[in-house]
Structure 1
Amino acid sequence: MERLYTMKEASKLLGVTVRTIQRWDKEGKIRCVRTIGGKRRVPESEIKRILGIHEERKIVGYARVSSHTQKDDLERQIELIKRYAKERGWKIEILKDVGSGLKENRRNFQKLLRMVMNREVSKVIIAYPDRLTRFGFKILEEFFKSYGTEIVVINKEEKSPQEELIEDLITIISHFAGKLYGMRSHKYKKVVEGAKKLIQDC
């Protein structure tokens, strides 16, 4: 997590009085956060911003597949992200996960969140929106934006609300069928294919 300074510590670093920082906070010139006890703290990023210390932030490429059988797809995503970055002259760090987009505890997804919250990342490049998360992409996009991080989607496929709902429904059914029967089982395939057929027939 980002380091937080007390008002006294911040005043020494900035060379101003505590009262001045309090005034800046009221005027919106500095971003302060509150502790559970209601005390003001100044994030390290704000200290650096005011002092004019600019640290180069990383550009991160994130790729994900649901299972180890999709290794080729994972490599395709990574190559696509690398090529996209190279065309723009960007140096990138690649993070990848194997796991459902419904799971928030993916190891490198969690690492990415920590990096974003520490303001270490300027851009996150993904092949498709659902590679980052299956649900709540817009919320995640706004969350990243609040830390100054832009999500760059290489393939933005416009879908109708109905198409999105159908895709979400199939994703949920696939996820829970995999939990119940295993991703490679005959029952799993039967349930998923049955659900797809039922939706198409409606």
Structure 2
Amino acid sequence: MAILKPKEMAERLNVTVKTLQIWDKKGTLKAYRTPTNRRYYTEEQYLKYIGQSDKDNRKIAAYARVSTNGQKGDLKNQIDFIREYVNAKGIILDEVVTDIGSGLNYNRPKWNELLDEVMNNQIETIYITYKDRFVRLGYDWFETLCRKHNTEIVVLNNIETSPDQEMVDDIASIVDIFSCRLPGLRKYKSKIANDKSLTDGENNDKDSEEP
């Protein structure tokens, strides 16, 4: 049974610790007490409060992603690897999500649908073969988001399912984005340098500093 501190429970329910104290006194959501009279809550209390008292009702999902349609074979390999793993553990997948799109793209429809399910407390576990299959950048942030909704991401760390070429392409995309911005930044810098009102202002400041 997982134990939650008042602060952790408050964050999950999006309320303040003070609100939890009020609920405890009113009996709305009673806290347990340690031998030293410190309040704590349980995972079961949290699930019951949000309407998911039976944890078995939540789904176990697999998520796999490749960047292009030409990598559908890799997509199948990811799912096969996950299935082999969960079958060996006696785990049944309730949902298999396959996606085609860059790991830098946060607008992948299927990925966002899965995150919506997470935030609706419908997903217990998500299995992925490698972190970058879920998202290329910011994985830790999304893992924390899932954890706050009591969803665990299990990373099987099969590096063979993370194509090197995809990483090269994604890095190239990042470089391209920033390189496209450079001319604009140079132009902006030039405008500032040629703006007489700004240069006059600087000169006036210097004059005012002279004794």
Identity across the alignment (%): 35
Equivalent residue, structure 1, for 2:114: 112
Equivalent residue, structure 1, for 2:155: 153
C-alpha separation between the residues in 1 aligned to 2:50 and 2:127?
A: 28
| CA displacement 1:3-31 (0-9 Å, x = unmatched) | x9xxxxxxxxxxx999332775xx66599
Unaligned segments of structure 1, at least 5 residues = 5-15, 32-42, 158-166, 179-202
Equivalent residue, structure 1, for 2:201: none
Any idea what SS the aligned residue of 2:28 has? helix
C-alpha separation between the residues in 1 aligned to 2:100 and 2:134?
A: 12
TM-score after normalising by structure 2: 0.56
C-alpha separation between the residues in 2 aligned to 1:22 and 1:127?
A: 39
C-alpha separation between the residues in 1 aligned to 2:142 and 2:150?
A: 13
C-alpha separation between the residues in 2 aligned to 1:172 and 1:45?
A: 44
Equivalent residue, structure 2, for 1:20: 27
Distance of aligned partners of 1:29 and 1:136 in 2 relative to their CA distance in 1, 3 Å threshold: same
Equivalent residue, structure 2, for 1:8: none
How many residues get paired?
143
Distance of aligned partners of 1:46 and 1:22 in 2 relative to their CA distance in 1, 3 Å threshold: closer
Distance of aligned partners of 1:74 and 1:169 in 2 relative to their CA distance in 1, 3 Å threshold: closer
C-alpha separation between the residues in 2 aligned to 1:81 and 1:30?
A: 30
Larger Rg: 2
The CA RMSD over aligned residues, in Å, is 3.6
The answer to whether the Cα contact below 8 Å between 1:30 and 1:46 also exists between their aligned partners in 2 is no
| CA displacement 1:53-97 (0-9 Å, x = unmatched) | 314121100000001011111111111111111111111121011
Any idea what SS the aligned residue of 1:101 has? coil
C-alpha separation between the residues in 1 aligned to 2:47 and 2:124?
A: 17
Cα distance, 1:171 vs structure 2:
2.0
Equivalent residue, structure 1, for 2:194: none
Q: Which amino acid aligns with 1:20?
A: G
Equivalent residue, structure 1, for 2:81: 80
C-alpha separation between the residues in 1 aligned to 2:51 and 2:135?
A: 32
Unaligned segments of structure 2, at least 5 residues = 1-12, 14-22, 32-38, 160-165, 178-211
Distance of aligned partners of 1:170 and 1:82 in 2 relative to their CA distance in 1, 3 Å threshold: same
C-alpha separation between the residues in 2 aligned to 1:110 and 1:81?
A: 21
The answer to whether the Cα contact below 8 Å between 1:21 and 1:30 also exists between their aligned partners in 2 is no
Bigger CA drift: 113-122 or 127-136?
113-122
The answer to whether the Cα contact below 8 Å between 2:47 and 2:55 also exists between their aligned partners in 1 is no
Any idea what SS the aligned residue of 2:73 has? helix
TM-score after normalising by structure 1: 0.58
Distance of aligned partners of 1:23 and 1:90 in 2 relative to their CA distance in 1, 3 Å threshold: closer
Distance of aligned partners of 1:66 and 1:44 in 2 relative to their CA distance in 1, 3 Å threshold: same
Which stretches of structure 1, 4 residues or more, deviate above 4 A after TM superposition?
27-31, 167-170, 175-178
Superposed, 1:135-150 pairs within 5 Å as: 135-150=137-152
